[in-house]
Structure 1
């Protein structure tokens, strides 16, 4: 009778050049470990190595988003269950020491115990393209900011003639003027060298601005095809939408429910009560880039969304401070975004609002005055640039009232 194969659990400690693989039985007994090269041929040897010890129940890999990305992709293509393993416990490391075999066995033990695990991102679809684009865009943004700061810093100490010429100019105008300048003189002349350097920095600034514009266009193109309704939400633009999708990953199914998403983006409320005081504080966990994106949405809504403004006023009168109010708003926004990512709802049709207003002989300024909004807000709403479902509903209701009051 053939010997029945045992279920085995695998742990992998990943590095740039090598991966160390350890195998344990379903009872936690160490079976074997070995080091392999972190290349395609090494990945095939890893598959043969683990298959020779039994039926693989699951593989725990450290760093599935970095050094372990290539191996994780190969393992998934073979139908194996791949799990992201968190860094080993510091206390255990101090007691047992650290080495590649120890870390690999620790990863396997974590898989067996179902401790410190998460589902890795697939990194094989449109969201991965968003992440790559944002990497280049982020560095371009930082470099552009550095360039304009250097330009303004040089102008502060520039000769009087140069400083007077460019003082008070808006940034785009100043960049154009500096690009068109024609420095002439000797390299030992401070005024000539200052203007030459300013021209170089302005050219760099403009090139980076064009690079950012191209990246934004590519981001928008991907969003239009992959998540076209996400940017319909108030305060959510391409920058925020792309970051939140990157946090979720290509395989959305790894997020089990809305509460898990809230914890992932760092807005799950943390109890901070004591005695008769009952309160919660901001979560400092989760993806901080996603949390920053939600922060931007909340700030935008607090300044432009009537419903959010009313909520802030109400909670302020209840004694809540700004941080507590923003925590509540972030939690609400995360819930709204979760629904739009996993069960997208199209924005209500508002293409007829402008036509109805014109048929009643009303101007944008008149509508804005009645609805207590800026004319630009009404104009952007009519053209579909801004989404505000509450304002659109109020606008439509008011137009219907005006239509019934208008004499035939």
Structure 2
């Protein structure tokens, strides 16, 4: 039988840590000093979620901290938010120190859940969870497009070897296999060849054509969504449709960052301090969200090739002795700040989402 929770007293906020898995969720409640009060393990099913919500009611107001494994806990987070609970996410790397400092050694679901709760007590600026909005729909489309492009690339690489074996004159230019008209010409040319290789090559050409059509359709769908959702972001020079889609999909909600510096730490454009004494030094941050970092890098490269504000800033950094790499990093951080302001401006002027209806909230028994 699970322990009976002790209600919060005197307005003291209790923190509940959640260690999520595919088939079960373990919850551990701790007081403001980090002392374990109670624990509960429920199935990762609607009935288990209802049991957990009923268990949480006995505490009064609580802060729920969830290990950041959204593919496992997304539905549970939605049920918690729909029930009025404040939910924050704890990155898994923050839990290691909490486990090492605990009295109970080892690793188990209750130990991990308690570590999640203690991190929430220690870290005041953890990202807040929110219900899925338009950004997740865009992210799913971008990820799906990336998967299809990778499949097309793999098929295209194999096809090129078969074409070279059949007839070296059938060589295809770089990036040519994404053009439907060229694929149609290849399919017509392969009808003149016989044998197993020609048959397989014809199938690969058909697969490339199908994937190219699907990729183009997804790009059109992404374009329509992004153009409506983030006009301020698209106004940034060098920011195209796919780059903007990556930024809003990976960022999810710009308001979860307390400042532009926090957003820069998230995307890896903020340098890491490595100094002691009087001389202040920093080094390159190779962490953060590398997908967002790459999108910012492409915007920076595009601006440098033009003659606008970004190119002028880049040239100014070169005149003061910065290398091209250092100047590009500084420009990338500058663009990160502008992207953060644009995302906030777009979220302040929301539009209707084209996503499906949000998750229906669960109802607790009286």
- The alignment's TM-score, normalised by the length of structure 1, stands at 0.73
Question: Residue 281 of structure 1: CA displacement?
Answer: 3.6
Q: How far off is 1:338 after superposition? A: 1.8
Report what 2:159 is aligned to: 151
Matches of residues 280-359 of structure 1 in structure 2 within 5 Å?
280-343=282-345
Moved more, 265-274 or 78-87: 265-274
Query: In structure 1, what is the equivalent of residue 249 of structure 2?
Result: 246
Map 1:182-197 → 2, pairs under 5 A = 183=191, 192-197=195-200
In the alignment, structure 1 residue 110 sits paired with structure 2 residue 119: yes
SS at match of 1:305: coil
**Is the Cα contact below 8 Å between 1:86 and 1:116 reproduced in 2?**
no
For 1:285 and 1:118, the matched residues in 2 are separated by: 17
Q: String of CA shifts for 1:73-111, please: whole Å, max 9, x gaps.
A: 111111111011222543554672100111112222222
How far is the alpha carbon of 1:229 from its aligned partner?
3.1
Q: How far is 1:165 from its partner? A: 4.3
Query: Structure 1 residues 223, 296: closer, same or farther in 2, change over 3 A?
Result: same
The Cα of 1:174 is off from its aligned counterpart by 4.0
Post-superposition CA distance 1:237-287 (Å, at most 9, x none): 1111111112321x4321222222222221113345699987644322221
Question: Which of the residues 5, 30, 39 maps onto 2:36?
Answer: 30
Which consecutive aligned stretches of 4+ in structure 1 deviate over 6 angstroms post-superposition?
273-278
Which runs of 5 or more residues in structure 2 are unaligned?
1-5, 347-366
2:63 is the alignment partner of 1:55: no
1-structure distance, mates of 2:240, 2:173: 31
Aligned counterpart, 1:349: none
1:10–1:108: 8 Å Cα contact kept in structure 2? yes
Residue deviations 1:328-353, cap 9 Å, x none?
01011112222222236xxxxxxxxx
Secondary structure in 2 aligned to 1:90? helix
Q: Which residue does the alignment assign to 1:179?
A: 187
- Within the candidate set 65, 70, 85, 2:70 is matched to 65
Other structure's SS at 2:265 match: helix
Match of 2:48 in 1: 42
Output aligned runs, 1:97-136, within 5 Å: 97-114=106-123, 117-120=126-129, 122-136=130-144
Please report the TM-score for the alignment, with normalisation by the length of structure 2. 0.81
Aligned mates of 1:4, 1:144 — CA distance in 2: 57
Q: 1:336 to 1:25 in 2, by over 3 A?
A: closer
Instruction: Report the RMSD for the aligned CA atoms in angstroms.
Output: 2.7
Q: Contact conserved, 2:163 with 2:170, CA < 8 A, in 1?
A: no
Q: Is the 8 A contact 1:14 1:20 kept in 2?
A: yes
Compared CA separation, residues 317 and 5, structure 1 to 2 (3 A): closer
Name the CA shift for 1:241/1:147 in 2 (closer, same or farther; >3 Å): same
8 Å contact kept, 2:261–2:270:
yes
Aligned residues: 331
Q: Equivalent residue for 2:353?
A: none
In structure 1, the residue matched to 2:205 is 202
C-alpha change, 1:216 and 1:183, in structure 2 (3 Å) is same
Decide which of 232, 235, 244 is 1:232's aligned counterpart. 235
Alpha-carbon distance change, 55 to 112 in structure 1, aligned in 2, over 3 angstroms: farther
Three-state SS of the structure 2 residue aligned to 1:147 is helix
Task: Between 130-139 and 105-114, report the one with greater CA deviation.
Answer: 105-114
For 1:255 and 1:295, locate their aligned partners in 2 and report how far apart those are by CA, in whole Å: 21
Q: Which region of structure 1 is more displaced relative to structure 2, 308-317 or 292-301?
A: 308-317
Q: Contact (CA 8 Å) 2:226, 2:241: kept in 1 or not?
A: yes
Q: Secondary structure at the match of 1:119?
A: coil
